[in-house]
Amino acid sequence: MKEEEKKKLESKNSNCKYIFVVGGVISGVGKGITASSIARILSDRGQTVTAIKIDPYINIDAGTMNPTEHGEVFVLDDGDETDQDMGNYERFLGVNLSRTNYMTTGRVYQSVIESERNLEYAGKCVEVVPHIPLEVIRRIELARDKAGADVVIIEIGGTVGEYQNMLFLEAARMMKIKHHKEVFFVMVSYLPIPSKVGEMKTKPTQYAVRTLNASGIQPDIIVARSKVSLDDKRKEKISMFCNVPVDHIISAPDVDSIYDIPVNFEKEGLGDMICDTVGMTCGPAMNEGSTKWKKFASSAHNKKNGLNIAIVGKYFNTGDFTLSDSYLSVIEAIKYSGYLCGSKPTLTWISSMDFEKDPKRIKELSKYDGIIVPGGFGSRGIEGIIKTIEYARKNNIPYFGLCYGMQLLVIEYARNVLGIKEANTREVNPNAKDLVIDVMADQKVKIEKKDLGGSMRLGSYPATLKKGTVAEKAYKAISIAERHRHRYEVNNAYREALEKAGLVFSGVSPDGKLCEIAELPASKHPFFLGTQFHPEFKARPLSPHPLFTAFIKACQKNKKK
């Protein structure tokens, strides 16, 4: 870097603001959405904002965590397998983030140990403190530089008082020494209303703030989550016992749509207050970005033109809560395209195993306007999914398959149209006679070596679309790039036969070797399309994904019929 550029960067960095978002009382009350909403507000007011998620797990990434326990694995352009909150940041901010924006305890320790092995500590004794927090700080600053950020929002996973995130709070405290006037803390707390008492209680929040104080950190702002809005009395109480000015306590009641939160925060004066507190000259609350957002947020309340969409898969016997977390990006992608087309989609989760146990039940699918099979792994429920796809194909119900949903579409077509009865994927039955879906060549070695973490085909890859196909018409482009996460692919040995039988590979890798999209032409089916990639990772509130939009339009037509 030239001397002049270096100086410019240093001066920009010396003004950069760091806003840490931490949780108090209980988890799951919306730290991620709070961080995303603050990011959105500041970005709309003209700041360059980036957001970082800190996951206190030893796992190097979220790729090895069970989605029903930890939520969706969100894949970034660079292939990092991250936490679902990274998806929220990307969607709220409308940007693409990279692995610099995500860290876990495992990742931080791994770097420190690697540096020690490389003799980078020059003979010093390497200790948990300060070396681990210093590595956290180094990573935060790296993300700042990469984004050229005016503001960095850093969400620390978990709640204060847990052992797991202590070193991250220590890093935040040390950050305050390093960049003292530029570091701020937002605590997202929870105020319960015990049913017998019927009154909102502030005491858990008071304790949480004291616990945070014990880490040497004083919150600047408290976002008070509760079932209903906070009254003045409660605000005054929190202010008095937690050392936070009354107007720095933001009421955040439950909402029907998370997209209202940035709008509500601005109503509460959060934007002006943050800009004041952190000493930034910001644009006004009413601006081009916030107007667009408001319009989108109000479209989310549209109740007209309902669409019934079935999501068929295997992870579905775990209760609604985990479900919506495991497939968060798919759900949001459907909503964005639905709202864009003036429809309110209602999703029904169907376990494909139901169709294996009782094949007659497949007819229940006739009441849906469209069917989606999302990504997945393993052999459970697969035959039921293949039956689902066959039903959608034969009964002209719009079908959209995502990753595994595309591979199984190809298997269904091979079995029932080409008559290859034993068509299968190596993932389900490596001994099947016809492995229409097989392991990718470079993946074979990785599986043999048991090199299984972060080793799939991950992240953004380009594809070329065939002119005149459903896919090309939806994208209105020939070259696209989408995010992947898979080990298996369409076996080229069967490609010609499949194409002859009418299946169109409308998207392929630029070298032509990998099938990225399989579809039936519009003349043969209202919408029958599967993608080897995960389009849901690139759907954004203000720019819905073209394939989801094409699917929704097909569902609307199907409903009208």
Catalytic residue positions, numbered: 403, 534, 536
Which residue's Cβ lies closest to ligand GLN?
375
Residues 304-363 within binding reach of ligand GLN (CB under 6 A): none
Burial 16-32 (b: 16+ CB within 10 A, else e): bbbbbbbbbbeeebbbb
| Least distance between ligand GLN and beta carbon 245 (Å) | 48
Contact status: 377 vs ligand GLN (CB under 6 A)? yes
Encoded tokens for 383: 């035959």
Measured at the alpha carbon of residue 48, what is the angle toward residues 43 and 49, in degrees to the nearest 5?
A: 70
**Which residues partner with 480 through β-bridges?**
463
| Least distance between ligand GLN and beta carbon 517 (Å) | 14
Q: Total residues at the site for ligand GLN (CB under 6 A)?
A: 10
Compute the half-sphere exposure of residue 356: CA atoms within 13 Å on the CB side of its CA: 14
Other Cβ atoms closer than 10 A to 358 = 10
Nearest residue to 345 (alpha-carbon basis) of 484, 544, 542: 544
Question: Which span (98-106, 248-256, 369-377, 464-472) binds ligand GLN, by CB under 6 A?
Answer: 369-377
Contact status: 79 vs ligand GLN (CB under 6 A)? no
What is the chain's percent helix, strand, coil content, to nearest 5?
Answer: 45, 20, 35
| Least distance between ligand GLN and beta carbon 499 (Å) | 21
Which of residues 200 and 409 has its CB atom nearest to ligand GLN in the complex? 409
Which of residues 91 and 484 has its CB atom nearest to ligand GLN in the complex? 484
Give the whole-angstrom CA distance, residue 269 versus residue 42: 12
Contact status: 459 vs ligand GLN (CB under 6 A)? no
CB 436 within 8 A of CB 424: yes
| Least distance between ligand GLN and beta carbon 244 (Å) | 44
Please pick, from the candidates 375, 398, 526, 530, the single residue that binds ligand GLN as defined by CB under 6 A.
Answer: 375
Strand order in the sheet with 306-313: 344-351, 306-313, 370-373, 399-402, 528-531, 515-519, 504-508, 457-465, 479-486
Encoded tokens for 110: 């791994």
Which of residues 172 and 514 has its CB atom nearest to ligand GLN in the complex? 514
Please pick, from the candidates 170, 427, 482, 536, the single residue that binds ligand GLN as defined by CB under 6 A.
Answer: 427
Question: Which span (195-203, 236-244, 291-299, 372-380) binds ligand GLN, by CB under 6 A?
Answer: 372-380
Please pick, from the candidates 168, 185, 355, 404, the single residue that binds ligand GLN as defined by CB under 6 A.
Answer: 404
**Which residues partner with 434 through β-bridges?**
423
**Helical packing angle, 3-15 and 128-147, nearest 10°:** 110
Which of residues 184 and 548 has its CB atom nearest to ligand GLN in the complex? 548
Q: Sort strands 151-156 and 479-486 into parallel, antiparallel or unpaired.
A: unpaired
- Site map (CB under 6 A) of ligand GLN, residues 468-487, x = contact: -----------------xxx
Nearest residue to 313 (alpha-carbon basis) of 392, 396, 429, 402: 402
Question: Which span (8-16, 220-228, 373-381, 388-396) binds ligand GLN, by CB under 6 A?
Answer: 373-381
Which of residues 345 and 376 has its CB atom nearest to ligand GLN in the complex? 376
Please pick, from the candidates 20, 488, 527, 528, the single residue that binds ligand GLN as defined by CB under 6 A.
Answer: 488
| Least distance between ligand GLN and beta carbon 437 (Å) | 7
| Least distance between ligand GLN and beta carbon 75 (Å) | 9
Give Cα 529 distance to the centre of its chain: 23
Please pick, from the candidates 30, 56, 161, 376, the single residue that binds ligand GLN as defined by CB under 6 A.
Answer: 376
Q: Side chain identity at 114, as an amino acid letter?
A: E
Residue ranges that bind ligand GLN, judged by CB under 6 A? 375-377, 403-404, 427, 485-488
